[in-house]
Amino acid sequence: MPSPRDESGPDSRTFRQGITPDMGFAAASAAARRLKKLRRAGASSRASTRVAVLGSHTTSQLSAFLELFLFAGGIDGVIYEAPYGLMRHEILDPESELYRFAPQFVVLAGSRRDLSLPPPGARHQDVVHAADAVVTEWRTLGRIAHERSGCRVIQNNFEAPAWRTFGNLEMNHPGAIGEFVDRVNRGLRQDAPEWLTLHDLDGLAASVGRWQWGDERYFHLAKLPCAPEHLTIYAHSLAALISAHLGRSRKCLVLDLDNTLWGGVIGDDGMRGLSLGAGDPVGEAYVEFQRYVRALSERGVVLAVCSKNEESNAREPFERHPGMVLKLDDIACFVANWEDKATNLARIAETLNLGLDALVFVDDLPHERALVRSLLPDVAVPELPADPADYIRAIEQHRYFEVVSVTQEDLQRTAFYRSDMQRRFTGSSAADLDAFLQSLEMRASIGPIGPDELARATQLIGKSNQFNLTTRRHSATDVQRMAADPRWVTRVVALADRFGDQGLISVLLAEQRDDTLFIDTWLMSCRVLKRGVEQLLLNDVVAIARDRGICRIVGEYDPTSKNALVQDHYARLGFAPLDNGDHCATRWQLAVGAGWEPLSHHIGGSAR
């Protein structure tokens, strides 16, 4: 169901797909100008956000490029730029335009030129104090902005200059700028509050090369914070962080095989003909690429294979080739056949319960990339250079898989998906559904959202699309506040079964008003669909409601392009239609008096 606000004509799609971080300064400037015209003409995206950019130097180009890269990622960014040089005023004055603008994100775009350096010859103790003073000042500015507007603060760390007046001792001597910048950056990371996200500007400068990053001419002429040609990746990096906070990072890397994971064509060249492994420089490049892919997988990116091959041929290197780093166990969904890749990608997305906009498709063949770009515009399809030694950079530069936190669940995700597939396989042989669910030996634990659950619960709130009744993206600060408020009921469910620990998979937030409990948020990971978790959770919530003397529970379904899955959620649980809420939402109610009987399921107590 296309969202009515989505502007997805072929022209705008091509325009969107043409916005990449490696586009030059001139092309990005032109595109930013075109975007302003398009948006004045009414073009819009699926998501939107409000971002204030505050810096003590020129931020005009940076802001325009930020809007551009947000748009490329499907987000309409409304950008507010503080007047030049007024960053501190804007934050400190409660009546400033900044607060009237009501930002969701405030970007504190500082640079090393904002640092007041300790005097030459300062003693170690003075340097420590000077660094503490910098950290405290920026933390205070960020906290004020956060407390007054509820925004998330994204703050640059500081980039070391290219020159080193202390030479090789630069990082050891307390009087050196390099050491001072490093000390401040460490201070910023230490005990960073939840509302703060550090943007690694220093890492960006290092990846470009420090002499290339700074172009002193344009600082002297126009106070540009870095060389103009690198403003694109600077803005893109910020856009990727904001996207990640809005739950829009990609989740799955789909790989072609022949000439993508190894050199050669397995069906023609056979195992021995492949270029893969030590001794052959090109083969080593493929090994290095596979290591990169596996490292992504180990930190939570789901891997899939989409190849035009006989399935047995495609699997053979994974099972027997000594040069393979990736094993079949690393691949959550393996598709090898002769159908077109768009059909297969749609199947992969469906199998893994992911949206097409969660996929990145990597293929060495230009016509396959073109086909997928045109038929499935939501799938990200990076250009791939001819040389496999350049593959890592070609993918990495897009920052598809940006994360704001890495949870235990992320680190085990591929295993989750794989055991989920085994479970489906077992399911097909089970005599009936009840017997199957019984055979899973499921155990759950339910409780309020405490400090240990906050990160994962907020992550689920930020990214769950399908099993999500209202799709309200509460921040961790909001969730923390609800958890502390006696009027609110916050519940999380963790589930385990004989295949393993599923981790925290469901979140419910509800607010008591008089004798009614209003369910604000109810979501669940699609890994555990149709397992009885909803029934279990409702029983739990009803018990809490009765303890509080509540006589009815009201739930809401707010339709989006992705959550049709749960349109009958409340009806299935025995709720009766109440009325229509805002927009197209429907509201449902359940009387929880003496007549209500707990729902049956097959989940036992205590998952952990």
Based on CB atoms, which residue is closest to another protein, 29 or 197? 29
Could you say which of 150, 174, 228, 500 contacts another protein (CB under 8 A)?
228
Q: Please tell me whether residue 587 adopts helix, strand or coil conformation.
A: strand
Asked whether the CA dihedral 234, 235, 240, 245 is positive or negative, the reply is positive
Six token digits for residue 164 = 């080193």
What is the smallest separation between the CB atom of 121 and another protein, expressed in angstroms? 31
What CA–CA distance (Å, rounded) separates 256 from 239?
28
Q: What string marks each residue from 44 to 73 as x (binds another protein by CB under 8 A) or -? A: ----------------xx------------
Residue 15 within binding range of another protein, rule CB under 8 A: no
* Residue keyed to tokens 């952990």: 608
Residue 385 within binding range of another protein, rule CB under 8 A: no
Could you say which of 218, 499, 518, 596 contacts another protein (CB under 8 A)?
218
Residue 229 within binding range of another protein, rule CB under 8 A: yes
Residue 37 within binding range of another protein, rule CB under 8 A: yes
For residue 146, give the nearest of 194, 191, 82, 114 by alpha carbon: 194
Residue 209 within binding range of another protein, rule CB under 8 A: no
Based on CB atoms, which residue is closest to another protein, 29 or 477? 29
Q: Which amino acid is at 293?
A: V
Window of 68-76, 117-125, 175-183, 216-224 that interacts with another protein by CB under 8 A: 216-224
Could you say which of 20, 27, 516, 518 contacts another protein (CB under 8 A)?
27
What is the smallest separation between the CB atom of 220 and another protein, expressed in angstroms? 6
What is the smallest separation between the CB atom of 216 and another protein, expressed in angstroms? 8
Residue 18 within binding range of another protein, rule CB under 8 A: no
Neighbours of 7 (CB within 10 A): 18
Residue 221 within binding range of another protein, rule CB under 8 A: yes
What is the smallest separation between the CB atom of 227 and another protein, expressed in angstroms? 9
Burial of residue 220, with CB atoms counted within 10 A of its CB: 0-12 exposed, 13-18 middle, 19 or more buried: exposed
Q: Which helix (H) or strand (E) covers residue 103, if one does?
A: none
Could you say which of 100, 220, 272, 320 contacts another protein (CB under 8 A)?
220
Residue 34 within binding range of another protein, rule CB under 8 A: yes
Give Cβ neighbours of residue 480 (< 8 Å, ≥ 6 apart): 194, 454
What CA–CA distance (Å, rounded) separates 479 from 462?
11
Strand ranges across the sheet with 359-362: 333-337, 302-308, 252-255, 359-362
For residue 519, give the nearest of 566, 564, 456 by alpha carbon: 566
Six token digits for residue 431 = 């005599």
Q: Are strands 75-81 and 47-54 parallel, antiparallel or unpaired?
A: parallel
Based on CB atoms, which residue is closest to another protein, 150 or 228? 228
Residue 30 within binding range of another protein, rule CB under 8 A: yes
- Dmax over CA atoms of the chain, in Å, equals 80
What is the smallest separation between the CB atom of 26 and another protein, expressed in angstroms? 4
What is the smallest separation between the CB atom of 15 and another protein, expressed in angstroms? 11
Based on CB atoms, which residue is closest to another protein, 68 or 524? 68
Six token digits for residue 572 = 């299935």
What residues line the site for another protein (CB under 8 A)? 24-27, 29-30, 33-34, 37, 60-61, 216-218, 220-222, 228-229
